[in-house]
């Protein structure tokens, strides 16, 4: 009888571990599939080592700066977003979002590049919602 109980415990433990690994694997695959690049609309200089980048993203998505690469001539910034797991009937309407980027070296005359598109990001001096008016650029 004792041998059967011990064996049954091992089978239960192995089953629990298998289910846990499957759930972790599914979560990791979901993140890899749904994580998407977000276009940076503009940037603003707060001080020599701090930038604010503006992006448009879905409501309730988890949006973050995923990469900052500094060279002598450019600062390449990548922003990515994960959509909300449950939408609760909310449409995919966008919302403006500003993210803070800390630099190692002063911005100086370096160009800011959107890492997801490889394009230069527009500089602005104004706060939202007037960031792209001609007098702000």
43 burial (CB, 10 Å; 0-12 / 13-18 / 19+) is buried
32 is written with which tokens?
A: 């890899």
So what's the pLDDT on residue 14? 84
Q: Is the pLDDT of residue 86 over 80?
A: no
Q: Which domain holds residue 100?
A: 36-136
On whether both 59 and 119 belong to a single domain, the answer is yes
Model confidence at 90: pLDDT above 60: no
> How many domains, the chain?
2
Classified as helix, coil or strand, 118 is coil
Q: Is the pLDDT of residue 98 over 60?
A: yes
- Token representation of residue 41: 């609309």
Confidence of residue 31 (pLDDT cuts 50, 70, 90): low
Whether residue 91 is found in the same domain as residue 131 = yes
- In sign, the C-alpha dihedral spanning 116, 121, 127, 128 is negative
For residues 29 and 110, the answer to whether their CB atoms sit within 8 Å is no
Which residues make Cβ contacts (< 8 Å) with residue 105, sequence separation at least 6?
Answer: 49, 70
Q: pTM for the full model?
A: 0.71
Chain mean pLDDT for the chain: 83
For residue 24, is pLDDT > 90? no
């Amino acid at each position: 009888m004792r041998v059967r109980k011990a064996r049954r415990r091992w089978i239960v433990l192995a089953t629990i571990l298998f289910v846990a690994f499957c759930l972790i694997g599914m979560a990791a695959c979901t993140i890899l599939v749904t994580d998407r690049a977000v276009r940076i609309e503009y940037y603003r200089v707060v001080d020599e080592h701090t930038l604010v980048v503006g992006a448009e993203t879905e409501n309730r998505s988890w949006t973050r700066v995923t990469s900052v690469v500094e060279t002598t001539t450019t600062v390449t910034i990548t922003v990515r977003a994960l959509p909300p797991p449950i939408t609760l009937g909310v449409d995919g309407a966008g919302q403006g979002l500003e993210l803070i980027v800390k630099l190692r070296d002063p911005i100086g005359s370096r160009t800011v590049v959107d890492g997801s598109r490889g394009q230069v990001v527009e500089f602005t001096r104004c706060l939202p919602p007037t960031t792209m008016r001609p007098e702000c650029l």
